[in-house]
């Protein structure tokens, strides 16, 4: 039996897809996995911000098209790139055990160590908002491209530091000098650090095998985060974050953040509960009661 996995062409995406392939072959050594590497609009538009032109959904559209036309049986994504409102045509059939969800500051041992006026590179409005809320004296500049090219901005003298996903760095085997940012103060992106496998609802030939990859705790945590984003009515390019974890008693603690892009207005709040969908929607309601939608007025 052969299973075709659609993937972006980026080094990190291919590593994540190979991880899925390896786990599948551990479950069933007779399975053959073919990786269908595709270029996406998000990768092709590496010279501009994604927020005004469709957000991170641009990273998955080509993969979903491959599922739709039969070139692939499943697609592998960074869950943080998957819109919280998935088309009814598709479903997330597995969420793998999560990597480290924290942001990582490359080039400094902490934001407080950077001199006033230092330049920090990030492609994320969420990161920008939280950085400027803490250090309004810093300059935040947009940076896109692969992980190594962004790290190289420091050596080129274009930035004093850049902020990246720690899970992505670890999967690439990179250990640049720097410091992980406290997720209580720098709330991660919805789904950050998690790998998701997507199929067409009507054509999930290998669904039973793929579901065996599912990590229940990670799935419940990220479901709460995604329910928050859905309830807030924003996409994954907005200055919004959410981070959840399962406790031993089965409850989930969900911490969420929303802010203006200049960092002048921010709101963080947490809530605990057992039902991830209900928890996410309840916390989103609290944010709406705070007038959070007004925070995004200046968001591009």
Out of 43, 73, 81, 235, which one is annotated catalytic? 81
Query: CA dihedral defined by 198, 202, 203, 209, rounded to 10 degrees?
Result: 60
Active site residue 81: yes
- Which residues is 164 bridged to in the sheet? 104
HEC readout, the chain: CEEEEEEECCHHHHHHHHHHHHHHHHHCCCCEEEEEEECCHHHHCCCCCCHHHCHHHHHCHHHHHHHHCCCCCEEEEEHHHCCCCCCCCEEEEEECCCCCCCEEEECCCCHHHCCCCCEEECCCHHHHHHHHHHCCCCEEECCCCCHHHHHHHHHCCCCCEEEEEHHHHHHCCCCCCEEECCCCCCCCCCCCCCEEEEEEHHHCCCHHHHHCCCCHHHHHHHHHHHHHHHHHCCCCCCCEEEEEEECCCCCEEEEEEEECCCCCCEEEEEEEECCHHHHHHHHHHHHHHCCHHHHHHHCC
Catalytic amino acids? 81
């Amino acid at each position: 039996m052969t299973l075709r996995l659609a993937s972006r062409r980026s080094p990190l995406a291919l590593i994540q897809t190979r991880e899925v392939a390896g786990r599948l072959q551990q479950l069933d050594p007779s399975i053959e996995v073919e990786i269908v590497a595709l270029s996406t609009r998000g990768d092709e538009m590496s010279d501009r911000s994604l927020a005004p032109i469709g957000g991170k959904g641009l990273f998955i559209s080509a993969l979903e098209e491959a599922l739709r036309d039969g070139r692939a049986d499943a697609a592998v994504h960074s869950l943080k790139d998957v819109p919280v409102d998935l088309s009814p045509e598709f479903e997330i059939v597995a969420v793998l055990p999560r990597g480290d969800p924290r942001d990582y500051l490359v080039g400094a041992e902490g934001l407080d160590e950077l001199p006033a006026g230092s330049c920090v590179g990030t492609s994320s409005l969420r990161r920008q908002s939280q950085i400027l809320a803490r250090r309004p004296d810093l300059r935040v500049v947009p940076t896109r491209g692969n992980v190594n090219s962004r790290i190289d901005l420091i050596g080129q003298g274009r930035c004093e530091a850049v902020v990246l996903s720690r899970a992505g760095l670890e999967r690439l085997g990179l250990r640049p000098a720097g410091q992980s940012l406290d997720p209580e103060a720098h709330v991660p992106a919805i789904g950050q650090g998690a790998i998701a496998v997507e199929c067409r609802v009507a054509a999930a030939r290998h669904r039973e095998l793929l579901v065996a990859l599912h990590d229940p705790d990670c799935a419940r945590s990220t479901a709460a985060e995604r329910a928050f984003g859905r309830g807030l009515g924003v996409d994954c390019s907005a200055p919004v974050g959410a981070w959840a974890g399962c406790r031993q008693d089965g409850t989930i603690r969900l911490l969420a953040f929303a802010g203006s892009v200049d960092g002048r207005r921010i709101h963080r709040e947490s809530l605990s509960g057992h039902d991830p969908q209900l928890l996410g929607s309840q916390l989103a309601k609290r944010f709406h009661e705070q007038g959070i939608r007004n925070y995004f007025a200046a968001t591009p």
